[in-house]
Amino acid sequence: MSAQDFPALMARLSAAVERIERALPAKSPAADADLQARHDALRAEVRETVAALDGVITRQQSGDA
């Protein structure tokens, strides 16, 4: 690639990025809030499950000691 090709390459790359951005669905703040709420709920559920498993392990180890 020569230095003369660089401006044309940059123009093509810029046009490609613009096409990709137009093709992406628009993100709405409500969708982000919903995703965050689902993420928080999943984290809480995982935290509860890990705590329950930790309790089972602790009881098992206490019984084995």
The model scores a pTM over 0.75: no
**Alpha carbons 29 and 26: distance in angstroms, whole number:** 10
Domain spans in the chain, listed from the N-terminal domain onward: 6-64
Q: In the prediction, which pLDDT does 1 show? A: 59
Residue 65 has pLDDT above 60, yes or no: no
Question: Tell me, what DSSP letter sits at residue 5?
Answer: T
Q: What is the mean pLDDT of residues 9-33?
A: 85
Q: Which residue has the tokens 């965050």?
A: 36
The answer to whether 23 and 31 are in contact (CB under 8 A) is no
**Vertex 20 angle, CA 2 and 36, to 5°:** 135
Percentage of the residues of the chain whose pLDDT score is greater than 90: 46
Which is more confidently placed, 60 or 26?
A: 60
DSSP alpha helix (H) spans, the chain: 6-23, 29-64
